[in-house]
Amino acid sequence: MFDSLKDKLQSVFSGLGKRGALSEADVDAALREVRLALLDADVALPVVKNFMASIREQAVGATVLKSVRPDQQVIKIVHDGLVAMLGGEAEELKVDVTPPAVILMAGLQGSGKTTTAGKLALHLQNKHRKKVMLASLDMTRPAAREQLRALGEQAAAGILPESDSETPLQLARRALKMAQLKAYDVLVLDTAGRLSIDDALMTELREIKKETNPHEVLLVADALTGQDAVNTAKAFHDQVGVTGIVMTRLDGDARGGAALSMRQVTGCPVKLVGVGEKLDALEGFDPKRLAGRILDMGDVVALVEKAAESIAEEEAMRMAERMAKGKFDMNDFLTQLRQLQKMGGLGGLLGMLPGIGKMQKQIAAAGIDDSMIKRQEAIILSMTRKERVSVGLLNASRRKRIAAGSGTSVQEVNRLVKQYQDMARMMKKMGSKAGAAGLKALMGGGNPLAAAGEGGADSAALPDMASLQQQLGSGSNPLAGLGRGGLPGLGGLPGGKVGGPLGGLPPGPRRGRKK
Amino acid sequence: MSWLKKLTSGLKKSSDAVTASLSGISGLFGKPKIDAGSIEELEEALITADLGVRAATDIADSLRSRKWSGPVDADQLRAALAESLTEILADAEAPLEISAARPHVILLAGVNGSGKTTTAGKLAARYAGQGKKVILAAADTFRAAAIEQLDRWGARSGVEVVAGERGGDAAALAYQALEKAQREQADILIIDTAGRLQNRAELMEELAKIIRVLGKLDAEAPHDRVLVLDGTVGQNALAQLRIFQEIAGVTGLIITKLDGSAKGGVVVALAREFGLPLHLVGVGEAAEDLQDFNARDYARALVGLDPA
C-alpha cells in the first residue's frame, strides 16, 4: 500500500548526499512525508499541524552530523520531537496515598475498561504489593458485572458484592465504605462505557468522581481509534477531569497515533498500555517505543527487550562460553526452543515485527505454529542423553525410534537434525569472534539497543530497523545465529530459504506492504 | 428517530470539538465564495472524519478539477461533495439478505470491543421480530461473561442461545449450534465470535477453523461473514478488513457506535479499496438502533445536508 516513512525520506534526500545544514526546501519536502505518516498513524490533524510547526523550526538549519544521512537526521529530529510530546519519561500511578487509593476508570464503550480494571488489580497486587478491591458501577451493559467478577477472581482481588437495586452513585458509596472497612489499599471503580456526548452519563460520572474523590481518573482508550480520539479525550477531560490515559490493544498492528493526540489535548500522561488478552498483559508506557511505532520503524526495541528479559543472564553466559568453544549440542538447541516459547511463542514474536500480516497467513497456512515448536521439543526429549550430546549417533534406526517415541515422523526428525546442524555450523563460525562478547553485551544488562548499535557506522542511536538488522545480521548476538541457521520451528516455512534475522521473516517494514 | 437523525444529531453535538471537522465544513460553507483555500479546508475536514489522506485528497482533487459554471456557493460545493461521496458508497449500500438456505448462517467477527455481541443481540431481536426462528451461538468462549451478555440479549428477544463452557472450543460450539439449527429447522443462526486482533495469527487460525467446521455441515455456511467495525476506528480498519478478508472471506460490514462524535469516515476508504457491502450501522443502544445503511443519506449527513 504505502512505503514506510523511512523509505520515503530516503528517496526525498536521495541524490542530495549533502552535508552541512538542512535547507528549508529539504525540510519541507521531508516534512510533507512526515505529515502523511503521522496522519496514517491516526494522529489527529490539529495535533499534526502543531507538531509540524515546531519540528520545522528545529529542523531548518540543523546541522547534519558527519556520519549521518540527512534523512536519518530528520527522522531523529522527528522521533525526538514525538518522544518529547509523548511526555519523555514514563509516569507511575498515584497509589501510595492514605488508603484506600481510588482509581476511577472511564472511557467509550468497547475501549477495554473492564478488562483493564482486572489487569490493573493484578498489576497493583504484583508490582505495587497492594490489596485491591474491584467494583463495577456498570448497570448498562449486560453482564458487565459478571465480567469484572470473573476477572477479579482470576486476579484474586476483592470484589464488591452486586446488587440490582442501586444506582451507580450508590454503588460507588458502598464500595468506598467497604474498601475503608476492609482496609483495602486500592479501590478500582469500573464504569459503564459512554459516549462523550451523552450529557446524562457524563453528569453521572462527574457525580461519582465528586463522591469518591479519586486519586486517579484513568481514561481508557483504544489504540485503534482514529481522528475522534481528540474529541473523546477533550470531552472526558473537560467534563470529568482525567489524570492519566491507558492505551489498550497496543498488541495490535495499529500505529497508535491516538495516544499522541490524547496526550496532547489533555496534557495527561499515558500511564499504562494493554498489550494482550491475558490478565498480566499490562505494561508501563514507553514514549520512545511508541514514537518508533508511530513512525513505523517497527517495534524492534520491544523485541530486543523481550529477548533480553526472558533469556536469563546466566544462561546467556553459559551459552556464550559454549559457543566460544564451538560446542553446541541438542541440549542447547532445546534451550533455544524453550526460550522462543518464553518470548510468547511465534505469535508473540511475529506480532512485534512490522509488516508481518502477510507472513502470518503463510505461516498459518503451512501449519507452523507453536505446536510445531512443541513437537520439535518432543523430538529432542525422545533422544537419549548420549544422542543429545553427539548427534552423529543418529542412524536410521535411532531416528525411527525417536520418531515413534515423540509421535512424529522420521521426516520431521530429519528436518530437525538438519536445522540443528545448520545452526551448529553458524555457532562455530561466530564462536571465536564476536560471539561471546556480543552475547554478553546484548544479554548481560545495560541498554540492549545501545549494545546492538555499538560499532555500527550509524551513530545516531535511533531504533533504526536497518542498522539494527545489520547488527543482528553480523553475528554479534544469538538471534542472528538463529537467523542463519533457521529459527527453530520455522524450518518448514514456505519458500524454504531463511534470510534475515529470525530466519525467514521479512527484513523490514517494506516487504509486508505493497506499493 | 431515524438513524440519520441520530447520526446528524450526534455530529452536531460534537461541533465544538477541537477539530475543524464537520463544523469546519459548515464554517467553510458560510463563506460567500469558495477558493483554493476552502477546498483545502474541506480536504482537512475529510481527514478529521477518518477518510484517510488518500481518499480525502482524491475527493478534494476531483472538486478542484471540476468545471464550475460561474461562481460557486457553499450549498453547491456541499452538494457536489455529497455527490462524490454517494458515488463512492453507492455500491456498498446492500442490506443483509437472508438467502434461501435454512438455516441461513451469519458469522460476526472483528477486533475486541467493536460491538459484536451487542450486534448479534440486536440482529437476533430484529429477525425474531419479523417472525423468524432465530438461534444465537455464543462462540466467544474467551472473554469473561461474553456468554452471559449474549444470554441477556437472547432472553430479551426470546431467542434461544447455544452456549458452552467458558474456555471451551469455539469451533466445536459453532458446529453444535449449526447441527441444532438444522435439526430444529431454524431460519437463521447468528454466531458471535471472540474479539481478535488481526495480527494474532493463532487467533485468526481459530476463526478459520470455525468456518471450516461449519462447512462440513453446510458447504455454503456461514453465508454471511460479517466484519463488525467500531465507528471510532481509524486507518487500522484497512488492515483489519484486509486480513479478516484473507482469513475469513468477509462478505460484508457492519459499523457500530455512530451515535457518538465519530463519523466512521473510514468506510469511504474501505469502499474505495474493497468494494464490500456495508449492511448496517449501529446508532444507539436499543435493538432498533441497528439500521440499514443508506449511502446518500450517510454522505449528506457527513457534509451537513438534510437527507431530502
CA A259 to chain centre: 14
- Cβ burial of B240 (10 Å; 0-12, 13-18, 19+) is buried
Nearest-CA distance B143 → chain A (Å)? 8
The answer to whether residue B53 neighbours chain A at the CB level (below 8 Å) is yes
End residue of a domain, out of B68, B90, B112: B90
Nearest CB to B17; choose among A234, A253, A257: A234
* Straight-line distance from the first to the last Cα atom of chain A, in angstroms, rounded to the nearest whole number: 5
Residues A92-107 have a mean pLDDT of: 93
* Contact at CB, B19 and A231, closer than 8 angstroms: yes
B298 within some domain:
no
> Is the domain of A227 the same as that of A133?
yes
> Is the domain of A339 the same as that of A244?
no
Q: How far apart are CA B154 and CA B162, in angstroms?
A: 10
B32 within some domain:
yes
On chain B, the residues whose CB falls within 8 A of the CB of A347 are: 200-202
B306 within some domain:
no
* Contact at CB, B199 and A222, closer than 8 angstroms: no
On chain B, the residues whose CB falls within 8 A of the CB of A150 are: 144-145, 166
Report the CATH number at residue A158.
3.40.50.300
- Structural domain for B59, as ranges: 3-90
On chain A, the residues whose CB falls within 8 A of the CB of B262 are: 226, 228, 231
> Is the domain of A65 the same as that of A111?
no
Residue A13: what pLDDT?
66
Q: How far apart are CA A226 and CA B266, in angstroms?
A: 9
Residue A364: what pLDDT?
59
CA dihedral A105, A106, A108, A109 (to 10 degrees): 40
On chain B, the residues whose CB falls within 8 A of the CB of A140 are: 285
The answer to whether residue B232 neighbours chain A at the CB level (below 8 Å) is yes
More confident residue, A365 or B1: A365
More confident residue, A123 or A427: A123
Q: How far apart are CA A379 and CA A407, in angstroms?
A: 8
Best-predicted range by mean pLDDT (A312-321, A432-441, B173-182, B195-204): B173-182
The answer to whether residue B236 neighbours chain A at the CB level (below 8 Å) is yes
Nearest to B161 by CA among A455, B152, B169: B152
> Is the domain of B77 the same as that of B114?
no
> Is the domain of A211 the same as that of A157?
yes
The answer to whether residue B212 neighbours chain A at the CB level (below 8 Å) is no
- CA distances to A318, A337, A344, A416, A478 from A429, in Å: 18, 21, 29, 20, 12
User: And the C-alpha cell for B62?
Assistant: 476531483
The total of structural domains in chain A comes to: 3
> Is the domain of A52 the same as that of A111?
no
Residue of A231, A236, A514 to mutate for B, most B C-beta atoms under 10 A: A231
Residue of B42, B197, B211, B242 to mutate for A, most A C-beta atoms under 10 A: B197
Residues A134-149 have a mean pLDDT of: 91
> Is the domain of B157 the same as that of B283?
yes
Nearest CB to A249; choose among B44, B53, B112: B112
The total of structural domains in chain B comes to: 2
Count of CA atoms in the C-beta half-sphere (13 A) of B75? 1
| Digit-coded pLDDT (tens) for B86-106 | 999 999 999 999 999 999 999
> Is the domain of A333 the same as that of A447?
yes
B235 within some domain:
yes
- Structural domain for A237, as ranges: 101-297
> Is the domain of A245 the same as that of A130?
yes
> Is the domain of B77 the same as that of B200?
no
> Is the domain of A212 the same as that of A334?
no
Measured from the Cβ of residue A309, the count of other Cβ atoms closer than 10 Å reads 12
User: And the C-alpha cell for B236?
Assistant: 487500522
> Is the domain of A23 the same as that of A80?
yes
Residues B22-30 have a mean pLDDT of: 47
Nearest CB to A197; choose among B13, B50, B235: B13
The answer to whether residue B2 neighbours chain A at the CB level (below 8 Å) is no
Residue in chain A lying closest to B48 (CA): A227
> Is the domain of A19 the same as that of A75?
yes
The model's confidence at residue A381, banded by pLDDT at 50, 70 and 90, is very high
- Are the C-beta atoms of B173 and B138 separated by less than 8 Å? yes
Q: How far apart are CA B40 and CA B44, in angstroms?
A: 6
Nearest CB to A364; choose among B114, B145, B204: B204
Residue in chain B lying closest to A152 (CA): B144
Nearest to A292 by CA among A496, A464, A159, A148: A464
> How does DSSP classify residue B294?
-
B60 within some domain:
yes
What mean pLDDT value characterizes chain A? 76
The answer to whether residue A278 neighbours chain B at the CB level (below 8 Å) is no
Angle at B59 (CA atoms; ends A1, A258), nearest 5 degrees: 55
Q: How far apart are CA B77 and CA B90, in angstroms?
A: 19
> Is the domain of A314 the same as that of A455?
yes
> Cis peptide leading into A168, omega within 30 of 0?
no
| Residue A329 confidence (pLDDT) above 70 | yes
Report the CATH number at residue A76.
1.20.120.140
Strand partners, A390: none
More confident residue, A339 or A212: A212
Report the CATH number at residue B73.
1.20.120.140
User: And the C-alpha cell for A75?
Assistant: 527522522
> Is the domain of B69 the same as that of B142?
no
| Residue A403 confidence (pLDDT) above 90 | yes
Q: What are phi and psi of B164, to 5 degrees?
A: -120, -150
What mean pLDDT value characterizes chain B? 87
- Are the C-beta atoms of A225 and A42 separated by less than 8 Å? yes
A474 within some domain:
yes
> Is the domain of B124 the same as that of B59?
no
User: And the C-alpha cell for A52?
Assistant: 509540524
Residue A422: what pLDDT?
82
* Contact at CB, B18 and A356, closer than 8 angstroms: no
| Residue A333 confidence (pLDDT) above 90 | no
Of chain A residues 412-451, which have a CB less than 8 A from chain B?
none
Q: What pTM was estimated for this model as a whole?
A: 0.72
A500 within some domain:
no
More confident residue, A127 or A67: A127
| Residue A116 confidence (pLDDT) above 50 | yes
> Is the domain of A154 the same as that of A26?
no
Measured from the Cβ of residue A61, the count of other Cβ atoms closer than 10 Å reads 12
Residues A442-456 have a mean pLDDT of: 35
Nearest-CA distance A393 → chain B (Å)? 36
A436 within some domain:
yes
> How does DSSP classify residue A62?
P
| Digit-coded pLDDT (tens) for A45-55 | 999 999 999 88
Q: Which of A92-106, A362-376, B62-76 has the lowest mean pLDDT?
A: A362-376
B303 within some domain:
no
Residue in chain B lying closest to A141 (CA): B149
* Contact at CB, B111 and A249, closer than 8 angstroms: yes
Report the CATH number at residue B270.
3.40.50.300
The model's confidence at residue A438, banded by pLDDT at 50, 70 and 90, is very low
- Cβ burial of A395 (10 Å; 0-12, 13-18, 19+) is exposed
Beta pairing, strands A282-284 & A270-274: antiparallel
Residue owning grid cell 456541499: B78
